[in-house]
Structure formats: structure tokens, C-alpha cells
Amino acid sequence: MLQRIYDWIDDRVDVTPLWRDVADHEVPEHVNPGHHFSAFVYCFGGLTFFTVVIQILSGMFLTMYYVPDIVNAHASVEYLQSDVAYGMIVRGMHHWGASVVIVMVFLHTLRVFFTGSYKKPREINWVVGVLLFFIILGLGFTGYLLPWDMKAYFATQVGLEIAETVPVIGELLYTLLAGGEFIGAQTLTRFFAIHVFFLPGALLALVAVHFIMIRRQGISGPL
Amino acid sequence: MRRGKGMKYVTDSRIPAREHRMQNIPKDYSEYPGKTEAFFPNYLLKEWLVGAVFLIGFLCLTVAHPAPLEREADPNDTGYVPLPDWFFLFLYQLLKYEYAAGDYVVLGTVVLPGLAFGALLLAPWLDKGPERRLSQRPIATAMMTLGVISTIYLTWESVEQHDWEADAEQAAMDDEDIREVDQSHEGYEIYQEQGCISCHGDNLEGNPGVQGPDLYDLAYDVEGVAEISVNGIGEMPGDMFDGTEEELQILSEYIVAGGGANEDEDVNGDDEEETEEDEENDEEDA
């Protein structure tokens, strides 16, 4: 029955090549830790993606309780943390996941760099990867403010003061991020929008480009 | 059309099959000697096993260390010593050095990070040679190693220099140590005017950010407090007080009475209110 449903769809939209392309590619020996244990360094990219998926899923659940305004933000996080079933685990995953993503991206970058994998023809993918790294740092920065506790507020103040020192565009940059002269209600909603919509959108688009290029170009050969 | 099941689409505008496209696809992995493995399902299954182990470890971490939450943001508490998330510490630490701060702050905030991250972004064009082995591209290897070591060093220094005890104290969620003092008292006015408030807080609760202790249940008598107000003690500088003798007397009495909030003395008669609050706090603790 399932086979017939599949065939019916496949007859019309030709989906088989889509997944066969992913399924049939071969994993070469030199990146397979099953053959050479040292090849575990090739896992960092995959683990980064895995943690990013954790971040997206846990973040989706966090927004079910989180309220992005300065009166309720802290209370909603506290409620989520202390009263909601498994809220502590979900927030814990999102909190620690942020650090794990950074560590994994760092290791992945070092692996790609030290195996010289960014060289022709993979230059563009390296650039996309570094942009992804910046986006992840941006997600870390904007997400830090959202619980609206002391550390969040004052770390963001320091961050925005650093942005303000940039010559020429510094003050514009500050106003753009803070949404005004002071860090307050506008800043929190802005950071929420950036953290939940703008950056994840950019992240997903670039991750797609990153993966399509890997499928196109293959993993770099053994050293 | 040779793909899929060979069906024909009306006005087929799909990308032509591989044979007709330009060949920019690298050699098949079978060209490399060794044992390749199909991604699906062989390799994916192993990946999932590793992923499951990773997930269990990660969940153990989240259970063992719940995500921290400090008290609600209070923009007026300027004594709070800020600390960014750990992965920004290297940048934060860089700005503490003389030639990356003050007049040179642009060097620390734009030039140095810009050069480092710009070089990272443009690495494929800075290191164009075909060699991939570390030993065959010493400059690229050296630069990256330098970058990694400085980042780790700066992060390490930042962690080392941060006062973690004060951090834990200023971060505390519960404010049971803060008592309501009598802010309409004459003594409180003097307390404000003489600037005591900036280090000892709105409610005499102290300010760990500037090492100001709380002033509840002090071990000094009125004269002792008066003397400290004038001469200072420990971290507290002298000559802070410049009012009249009379004001000094009122201030000292007020402080010794804990602003009317001391537990053993009841100067202003609002002991009842205080007890209620203590009970509330106890409930929260439980």
C-alpha cells in the first residue's frame, strides 16, 4: 500500500532522484572513523549541524512560554525554569547548546583549515562557513539578552558600547541595535526578532548552500 | 529525459541530466583506493549511534548544571560588574589592554578583530597554493596557530582576572538580604547626601560590585560608626563625611539602628512589616 502511494507520487513529481542523491553517495574511507579512528575530526561539522537542530527545536519550545517584553521576560523565564514540566531541561539544552555549537564550529573550522580543505574548488564554501560562524556568534550575542537578568542587561550594554566605538557608523549601529538611546523595551524586542527570525532565517539559507555545495564538490580527498 | 522513471513532462524546463552539463564534479571516491561505504543506510546508522551517545552526554550536562538565571535586570545598579558570554571573553579582554583601549579603542574593537576575522574569511585567497599539508604551507599554519593561541590566551586571562566570588554574590537570585529601611527618616537623607548610598546601597544592603558591605546588625556603636564615617576603614576611604557634628550623630544613630530594619532592635516600630517579609522569604526558600 505504502509502495503504491509512493509510486503514485513518484510518477507525477519524480521524487526518487532527490533522496537517492543523498542516500547513494559514498562515504570515502579517509573520513570514516570506522576505518581510521583519527577520522573523527571529520565529524565536527555533522555534530555542529546536530546541535543547531537541537537549538532550533529547543528554541521553538522556549518561545511557547517566553514573553519578549521587559515587564514579563524575566518572570516568564523563571516560570519556565522552575514550574513548567521539563522546562529546566529544555532551557538547559538551549543554554548549553549555544556553547556546544561554538565549540563544534571552532573545531570544525580548525579541521577544515588544517587539512587545507578550503582550497580550490572549495573557496566559496569556506566563505559561506565563516559567514555561518558570524551568524552563530550573532545568535549567541542576541540570545544572551533575552532572559533579561542582570548579566544579560549589562553584557549587552558592554557589547553595544563596543559597537558604538566603530568609526563613522558606530552611533548608527548602536541606535539600530538598541532601538534608541538606552537599552530597554525596544532593545529587547529587537534582539528577540533578530534572534528568532532574522538570524535563523539567514542561518538556514546558508546551511542549505553549505550542504548543497558539499554534495556538489564532495569532501576533499585524503592528504 | 533519462532520469527517474522516464516520464515526460510537458514543457520540460528541468536542468539537463549530468551528461550534458559541464563537468565540475570531482572524481568519484572509488578513484581513491580504500573502502568506501554507502551513506544510506550503512554510514547513517553509525552516525546515529554516535549522535545518540553525544545527545545522552549533552542531556546529562543540562541535568547536572541547570541554566543559570540571575535577578531581573536593574539598569540603575551601576555597580554591577558585567561579564559577556564566554565566547566573547577574548574580545572583552583585548579591550582591557592599554593600546586597545582609551584613545586606541578603535584598534581593539575594529582593527585587530577586523584583521583577524577578515583574514579568516579570505583565507582561500591569502593561501592560494595547491599544497594542503601543514608542513608545506608554514605561513598559513603559523598564522592560524597564532590566532588560536591568542584567542585561548585572552579567554584564559579574562577568566583568571574576573572576581568569581563577587560575581556569584552580585548575581544571586534571591534578595532576602535586602531589608526595607525607613527612607523617610532624617538619617536616610543624610545617608543619601553624603554619598554613603553609592557603596552601601538604597537599603543599606551593600554593593558587592564596589566592595561596599551591608550595614545591618553592625558590631559598632554610634561613636564607632561616626569615626568610620569620617576616617574610613579598610577599602573605604576617609573624609567621606563633610556635614555637621549634628548630622554625623543622626547618621550614625540611623546606621547603627540599621535604618530601622535591624532584627534585634526596633527603632522605628515597623517590626511587624519586617517579620512578614522574612516569612515571605522563608517560603520562597522552601
Nearest CB partner across the interface for A14, out of B4, B41, B54: B4
Percent of chain A with pLDDT over 90: 79
How do residues B35-93 score in pLDDT, each as one tens digit? Answer: 778 888 888 898 899 899 999 999 999 999 999 998 889 888 878 888 899 999 999 99
Angstrom CA distances, B175 to A123, A138, B71, B167, B227, stand at: 54, 32, 8, 15, 30
Residue B167 in domain: yes
- B193 compared with A5, residue with greater pLDDT: A5
* pLDDT level of residue B274 (50, 70, 90 thresholds): very low
Q: Identify whether residues B245 and B271 lie together within a single domain.
A: yes
Distance from CA of B195 to the nearest CA of A (A): 23
Give A147's contacts in chain B (Cβ within 8 Å).
Answer: 69
Residue B15 in domain: no
Nearest CB partner across the interface for A116, out of B66, B120, B133: B133
Q: What is the mean pLDDT of residues A23-47?
A: 87
Min mean pLDDT across A103-112, A149-158, A207-216, B181-190 is at: B181-190
pLDDT at B232 over 90: no
A–B CB contacts, 8 A cutoff, strictly below: 225
Q: Does A180 touch chain B (CB under 8 A)?
A: no
Nearest CB partner across the interface for B67, out of A29, A30, A95: A95
Q: Identify whether residues B41 and B97 lie together within a single domain.
A: no
Distance from CA of A135 to the nearest CA of B (A): 13
Residue ranges of E strands in B36-125: 37-38
Q: Kindly identify which residue of chain A lies nearest to residue B142, measuring between CA atoms.
A: A114
Q: Kindly identify which residue of chain B lies nearest to residue A129, measuring between CA atoms.
A: B121
Residue of B72, B81, B92 to mutate, testing the A interface (most A Cβ within 10 Å of its Cβ): B72
pLDDT at position B284, please?
A: 47
pLDDT at B263 over 70: no
Q: Identify whether residues B191 and B241 lie together within a single domain.
A: yes
Contact A26 B171 (CB under 8 A): no
Q: Kindly identify which residue of chain B lies nearest to residue A49, measuring between CA atoms.
A: B51
Residue of B87, B92, B93, B139 to mutate, testing the A interface (most A Cβ within 10 Å of its Cβ): B87
Q: What domain count does chain B have? A: 3
pLDDT at position A168, please?
A: 92
What is the CATH T-level fold of the domain A26-217, as seen in this structure? Cytochrome Bc1 Complex; Chain C (1.20.810)
Q: Kindly identify which residue of chain A lies nearest to residue B172, measuring between CA atoms.
A: A150
pLDDT at B3 over 50: no
How do residues B153-209 score in pLDDT, each as one tens digit? Answer: 999 999 999 988 888 888 776 555 677 788 888 888 888 888 888 778 777 877 765
pLDDT at position B280, please?
A: 46
pLDDT at position B29, please?
A: 56
Residue B282 in domain: no
Distance from CA of B263 to the nearest CA of A (A): 29
Q: Kindly identify which residue of chain B lies nearest to residue A148, measuring between CA atoms.
A: B73
Q: Which three cell numbers stand for residue A135?
A: 551568524
Residue B192 in domain: yes
- B8 compared with B127, residue with greater pLDDT: B127
Residue B78 in domain: no
Q: What is the mean pLDDT of residues A86-113?
A: 96
pLDDT at position B41, please?
A: 83
Contact B75 A183 (CB under 8 A): yes
pLDDT at position A217, please?
A: 84
Residue type, B200: H
Q: Identify whether residues B140 and B200 lie together within a single domain.
A: no
Q: What is the mean pLDDT of residues A179-202?
A: 95
pLDDT at A47 over 50: yes
Q: Under DSSP, is residue B266 helix (H, G, I), strand (E, B) or coil?
A: coil
Cα three-residue angle A183-A189-A193, rounded to 5 degrees: 125
pLDDT at position B14, please?
A: 52
Q: B50 is in which domain, residue-wise? A: 36-67
Segments making up each domain of chain A, as ranges = 26-217
Min mean pLDDT across A42-56, A75-89, B206-220, B242-256 is at: B206-220
How do residues A150-183 score in pLDDT, each as one tens digit? Answer: 999 999 999 999 999 999 999 999 999 999 989 9
pLDDT at A104 over 80: yes
pLDDT at position B17, please?
A: 53
DSSP secondary structure string for all residues of B161-209? HS-HHHHHHHH-S--TT-----TTSHHHHHHHHTTHHHHH-TTS--BGG
Distance from CA of B45 to the nearest CA of A (A): 12
Q: Is A207 exposed, middle or buried (0-12, 13-18, 19+ CB in 10 A)?
A: middle
Nearest CB partner across the interface for B73, out of A115, A148, A221: A148
Give B91's contacts in chain A (Cβ within 8 Å).
Answer: 162
Contact A81 B67 (CB under 8 A): yes
Residue ranges of E strands in A53-123: none
How do residues B118-154 score in pLDDT, each as one tens digit? Answer: 999 999 999 998 888 999 999 999 999 999 999 999 9
Q: Identify whether residues B142 and B199 lie together within a single domain.
A: no
Q: Kindly identify which residue of chain B lies nearest to residue A96, measuring between CA atoms.
A: B62
pLDDT at position A219, please?
A: 85
Question: DSSP letter at B67?
Answer: P
Note the ipTM here. Answer: 0.91
Distance from CA of A116 to the nearest CA of B (A): 5
Residue B132 in domain: yes
Q: Under DSSP, is residue B83 helix (H, G, I), strand (E, B) or coil?
A: coil
Q: What is the mean pLDDT of residues A23-51?
A: 88
Q: Identify whether residues B50 and B116 lie together within a single domain.
A: no
pLDDT at position A78, please?
A: 94
Please state at what angle helix A87-114 crosses helix A123-145, rounded to 10 degrees. Answer: 150
Residue of A55, A154, A161, A183 to mutate, testing the B interface (most B Cβ within 10 Å of its Cβ): A154
Q: What is the mean pLDDT of residues A46-57?
A: 96
pLDDT at position A221, please?
A: 83
Give A30's contacts in chain B (Cβ within 8 Å).
Answer: 32, 34
pLDDT at position B159, please?
A: 94
Contact A126 B3 (CB under 8 A): no
Q: Under DSSP, is residue B236 helix (H, G, I), strand (E, B) or coil?
A: strand
The answer for residues whose C-beta is within 8 angstroms of residue B227's C-beta and 6 or more apart is none
